Structure 1
Amino acid sequence: MTIDTALPDDTALPDATDLFDGPPRSGSDYAQLSRRIAAAGLLDRRPGYYVIRFLLVGALIAGTISTFVLLGDSPWQLLVAAAAAVVYGQVALLAHDVAHRQVFRTRRPAVITGRVLGNLGIGMSYGWWMDKHTRHHANPNHEGLDPDVEAGALVWTGEQASAARGLTRFVNRHQALLFFPLLTLAGIDLRRSSVRGLLGERGAMVRGRRLELCLLAAHAVGYLTALFLVLPPVLAIGFFVVHQALFGVYLGSIFAPNHKGMAMPEERLDFLRKQVITSRNVRGGSRTDGLLHVAMGGLNHQIEHHLFPSMPTPNVRRARPIVRSFCAEIGVPYHETSLVRSWAEALGQLRRASAPLRAERG
Structure 2
Amino acid sequence: MTPPMNSPAAAAPASPGTAETGSDYARLSRRITEAGLLRRCPRHYTLRLGAVGLALGLCWAAFLALGDSWWQVVVAAALALVFGQVALVAHDIAHRQVFRLRRPSEIGGRIFGNLGIGMSYGWWMNKHTRHHANPNHEELDPDVAPDILVWSTEQARNSRGPARFIGRYQAYLFLPLLLLEGFNLHVSSVRALRSPSMRSRRLEGALLLGHFALYLSALFVVLPPGKAVVFLLVHQALFGVYLGAIFAPNHKGMPTLTGDDRTDFLRRQVLTSRNVSGGLLTDVALGGLNHQIEHHLFPSMPTPHLRRARAIVRSYCAEIGVPYHETGLVQSYREALRHLHRVGVPLRDGSAGS
- For the aligned pair, the TM-score class normalised by the smaller chain equals over 0.9
Aligned to 2:41: 46
Q: Give per-residue Cα distances to partners, 1:101-138, cap 9 Å, x unaligned.
A: 10012110110110011011100100010000000000
Equivalent residues in 2 for 1:32-111, closer than 5 Å: 32-111=27-106
Q: How far apart are the structure 2 equivalents of 1:19 and 1:72? A: 54
Q: How far apart are the structure 2 equivalents of 1:4 and 1:93? A: 21
Q: How far apart are the structure 2 equivalents of 1:264 and 1:23? A: 29
C-alpha distance 221-254 of structure 1, shift in aligned 2 (>3 A): same
Equivalent residues in 2 for 1:187-198, closer than 5 Å: 187-198=182-193
Does structure 2 conserve the Cα–Cα contact (< 8 Å) formed by 1:123 and 1:191? yes
Of 298, 323, 326 in structure 2, the residue corresponding to residue 308 of structure 1 is: 298
TM-fit CA distance, 1:18: 4.6
Identity of aligned residues (%): 62
Q: Secondary structure in 2 aligned to 1:211? A: helix
Number of aligned positions between the proteins: 347
Does structure 1 conserve the Cα–Cα contact (< 8 Å) formed by 2:12 and 2:297? no
TM-fit CA distance, 1:320: 0.5
TM-fit CA distance, 1:198: 2.4
Aligned to 1:27: 22
C-alpha distance 279-299 of structure 1, shift in aligned 2 (>3 A): same
Does structure 2 conserve the Cα–Cα contact (< 8 Å) formed by 1:15 and 1:308? no
Aligned to 1:250: 242
Q: How far apart are the structure 1 equivalents of 2:158 and 2:90? A: 35
1:241 corresponds to which letter in structure 2? L
Of 265, 270, 288 in structure 1, the residue corresponding to residue 264 of structure 2 is: 270
Q: Give per-residue Cα distances to partners, 1:25-48, cap 9 Å, x unaligned.
A: 211111111111111110110001
Q: How far apart are the structure 2 equivalents of 1:248 and 1:66? A: 23
Aligned to 1:317: 307
Q: How far apart are the structure 2 equivalents of 1:228 and 1:25? A: 56
Q: Secondary structure in 1 aligned to 2:167? A: helix
Does structure 1 conserve the Cα–Cα contact (< 8 Å) formed by 2:12 and 2:299? no
Does 2:316 match 1:326? yes
Q: How far apart are the structure 2 equivalents of 1:19 and 1:210? A: 34
C-alpha distance 4-45 of structure 1, shift in aligned 2 (>3 A): closer
1:213 corresponds to which letter in structure 2? G
> What stretches of structure 1 of length at least 5 have no aligned partner?
none
Aligned to 1:112: 107
Equivalent residues in 2 for 1:280-291, closer than 5 Å: 280-284=274-278, 289-291=279-281
Q: Secondary structure in 2 aligned to 1:204? A: coil
Aligned to 1:156: 151
2:59 corresponds to which letter in structure 1? T
TM-score with structure 2 length normalisation?
0.94
Does structure 2 conserve the Cα–Cα contact (< 8 Å) formed by 1:16 and 1:308? no
Q: How far apart are the structure 2 equivalents of 1:259 and 1:336? A: 11
> What stretches of structure 2 of length at least 5 have no aligned partner?
none
TM-fit CA distance, 1:217: 1.3
Does structure 1 conserve the Cα–Cα contact (< 8 Å) formed by 2:114 and 2:208? yes
Q: How far apart are the structure 2 equivalents of 1:24 and 1:318? A: 27
Of 233, 247, 251 in structure 2, the residue corresponding to residue 241 of structure 1 is: 233
TM-fit CA distance, 1:23: 4.7
Does structure 2 conserve the Cα–Cα contact (< 8 Å) formed by 1:140 and 1:274? yes
Which stretch of the first structure deviates more once superposed, 308-317 or 166-175?
Answer: 166-175
TM-score with structure 1 length normalisation?
0.92
RMSD over aligned CA atoms reads 1.8
